[in-house]
A and B are shown apart, each in its own frame.
Chain A
Amino acid sequence: MRYLTIALTKGRLANKTLELFERIGVDASGALDKNTRKLVFTNEELGLRFFLAKGPDVPTYVYYGAADIGIVGRDTIIEENKKLYEVLDLGYGKCRMCVCGPASARKYLENGDTIRVATKYPNIAKDYFLGRKHQTVEIIKMNGSIELAPIVGLSEVIVDIVETGSTLRENGLEVLEEVCPLSARMVVNQVSMKMENERIADLIRRLKNELAKGI
């Protein structure tokens, strides 16, 4: 049997996903084993392989067929914009993509001023401001601690993921506009979906039933 390879987003998403797989009787706990330096965990019995990757790399692995299935946040799927099948909303990892800034920045959004927007997600930001709001903005790509940008005056607002909003509040920022809701998704390579239809469809069905039971 050919291995089905599953790419997991490193971190909390991976833990949650492996819990879920456990509940449908798929053991992949070895993928999180801290005592090994092995990068790929294999479940020989079920013919499954698991590995961890950084979020933005997961759609890439799946798109090129190096992984058949990926578990990744919707933010990354939209940002990377690769041709993938997005087959399942896993329901966890829920948060929102938002435009945030100090309350005083609200007027810039209402007036359609040309402002600077700092973000880890330039494509999402561009699509929102140019495509949906028709507001000309200058987008600044950052790699972390986005909240810093409006505080030190690099940009007027930011586009970032908001879960509870506590980091924002502690830094005197707030949600100004919501771009879209987010959660963890299962994506499938288009070729794998055709070539390994039965096994993948079966996996989706079992995960779906388990999710329907509620967490």
Chain B
Amino acid sequence: MNNRVIHTPDGVRDLYGRNKKNKKILMAQLDGVFERYGYSDIETPTLEYFEVFSSDIGTTPSNELYKFFDRDGNTLVLRPDFTPSVARAVSMHFPDDAFPARLCYSGSTFVNSREYQGKLKEATQMGIELIGDGSADADAEVIAVVCDLLLTSGLKEFQVSIGEVNFFKSLAERSGLDEETVETIRRLITTKNFFGVSEVLDQANVDDAIREALEELPQLFGGAEIFNKAEKYALADQEKEAIRRLRDIHAALVDKKLDRYISYDFGSLSKYTYYTGIIFSAFTYGTGEPIARGGRYDHLLGHFGKDLPAVGVGLYFDQLTNCLQRQLIPYGADALLAGKGGNA
């Protein structure tokens, strides 16, 4: 018999038996978290027009999208991520008095990336979008949901690392460097390449105070004590505002007793242009990649004709269960059994 008939293509898989049951139950538990915070479900199609994920919205590079043509010759893609889809749907259907809207979703996402060797090309994502609320409380709420999701899954050790894109944006603007150099520096800061940033700045003519700030950025991460250090470099209003924002979020998270899961990283920048405020990633042992990623994107809905602030997060479900397995934490049905078995 031809092997191709039996095997699945690279990056997709069958799920059945115990693994499927664990997944189903854990997803239901996480859904419970969404419900507790007052989020209601939204479903968007797997296929969208290419324009929804195009480069000026900027989530996934075009060559990593699965693309098709419909009968009229339009380019369609399999969604690589939910946020632009949800933004589009909300702009299309929701009346102006529907905000703030709390929406949650779960389903498959598709990324055709070579880098994902040994990783899934069809991956389950669960997440939320809080649309129409631009406050620090909204930011803190979304981060609290992430922590709650991870704790509910059974994970005990994790870190949510929060950054603010405006801090770097403003420094870059003040530096007067051309776009290409800024992009090089952004890349070096994201990889915490301390010496690389200095090398690039050696060849550029930059104000000393800004230079010092840019050189410090890759090391500007840690607990709330990092705010004082960052303040030394924040000379423009936008930079001060970024720090004030993070302080407000921190205060809200302390109130929720979640601060021990949180750290701050001014050097965490995103190549995704749609982020306009905080960005954050959740990390744990057992994977080289974040298990959840999110941030504030106040202009994305504007692309679809409804200018509203929004903040959201996506949880990479399969990454999470991988980590749980590697950390020997039972989850889903196994966790329920272990809970009952504890007394026996």
Contact = CB atoms under 8 A, between A and B. Distances in A.
Q: Do A and B come from one complex?
A: yes
A57 interface: no
B316 interface: no
A204 to B, nearest CB: 9
B146 to A, nearest CB: 14
A108 interface: no
Interface in A86-122: 86-89
Contact of B192 (A62, A65, A86, A89): A86
Interface in A173-205: 188-191, 193-195, 197
A63 interface: yes
Contacts of B285: 65, 191, 195
A85 interface: yes
A191 B284 contact: yes
Interface string B189-204: 0011111100000000
Interface of B: 115, 157, 159, 161, 191-196, 221-222, 263, 265, 283-290
A197 B222 contact: yes
A49 interface: no
Given A194-B159, A194-B283, A197-B263, A188 B288 contact: no
Nearest to A208: B194
* Secondary structure dominating the interface of A: mixed
A64 B288 CA distance: 5
A88 B221 contact: no
A87 B283 contact: no
Contacts of B265: 194
Contacts of A86: 191-193, 196
Contacts of A189: 288
A64 B323 CA distance: 11
B192 A188 contact: yes
Given A63-B288, A64-B288, A197-B263, A191 B283 contact: yes
A71 interface: no
Given A63-B288, A87-B194, A88-B195, 5 more contacts: A82-B288, A85-B192, A194-B221, A195-B283, A195-B285
Contact of A190 (B196, B263, B283): B283
Nearest to B223: A197
Contacts of B194: 87-88
A157 to B, nearest CB: 27
Interface residues of A, number: 20
A87 B288 contact: no
A89 B194 CA distance: 9
Closest 8 CB pairs of A and B: A85-B192, A191-B283, A86-B193, A63-B288, A194-B159, A89-B195, A194-B283, A65-B288
A63 B115 CA distance: 11
B294 to A, nearest CB: 16
Contact of A195 (B191, B221, B284, B289): B284
Given A64-B288, A197-B263, A87 B161 contact: no
Given A194-B263, A195-B159, A197-B263, A65 B196 contact: no
Contacts of A64: 287-288
Nearest to A2: B285
A197 B226 CA distance: 13
13 contacts: A62-B288, A64-B288, A65-B286, A85-B192, A85-B193, A86-B192, A86-B193, A189-B288, A190-B289, A191-B289, A193-B192, A194-B161, A194-B283
A64 B285 CA distance: 10
Contacts of B195: 88-89
A158 interface: no
B266 to A, nearest CB: 14
Contacts of A83: 191, 288-289
User: Among the interface residues A83, A191, A197, which one has the most CB atoms of the partner chain B within 10 A?
Assistant: A191
A84 interface: yes
Nearest to B267: A85
A63 B287 CA distance: 8
A197 B220 CA distance: 12
B191 A65 contact: no
B191 A84 contact: yes
Interface in A144-195: 188-191, 193-195
